[in-house]
Structure 1
Amino acid sequence: GHKRKNWKVRKFVLRADPAFLHYYDPTKVYNKPVGGFSLRGCLVSALEDNGVPAGVKGNVQGNLFKIITKNDIHYYIQASSKAERVQWIEAIKPLT
């Protein structure tokens, strides 16, 4: 698999049926997802502000949460605020 060591801005869309998280490149004009994954069997949790994964470069300012897929792929996502991070986690957890 591919390991990304830098941060990319992405727009996320959460779908409930089937439980799926799509992500889009906000700089692109067309409206097709650049990726996504099923939320079934995933684990989601908040990370402490010092919980940035080793080797990750870029401007990381906290409000992080992590999603681990059933295939053991780790996604680190940075919300714009602590409140938004809580909202994302609370929305995702029932779908896992």
Structure 2
Amino acid sequence: MSTAEENNRDAASYGDLIGRFVDRTINAAQFEQQYLDLMKNDEAPHPDAVFAVLDKLFSDVDEYFASPEASTAERREQDEALREHAATALARLRQLGALG
């Protein structure tokens, strides 16, 4: 497997996860945990442009916090804001050709 194919395969795991969140297959809390785990355990080298997208989304996920005291509307608003960030990242990864 070439390095480019390996990078695409590694980025594809991000694409799959982000896609499941954007498509509402998983909720924001599940996405947060899985994305943080994926990033923290990722040792693959990614092209700079791809890493920038993943790192920006990592920052967005890291800032996400749904307080137990928050109203349902507030939690929904925070979840949707995170989903918008994820959709933007997914579109950019596709544009970069990073998802295979």
Determine if the TM-score, normalized by the shorter chain, exceeds 0.5: no
Structure number with greater CO (CA < 8 Å, separation at least 6) is 2
Larger Rg: 2
Question: Greater helix percent: which structure?
Answer: 2
Question: Greater strand percent: which structure?
Answer: 1
TM-score, length-scaled by structure 1: 0.31
TM-score, length-scaled by structure 2: 0.30
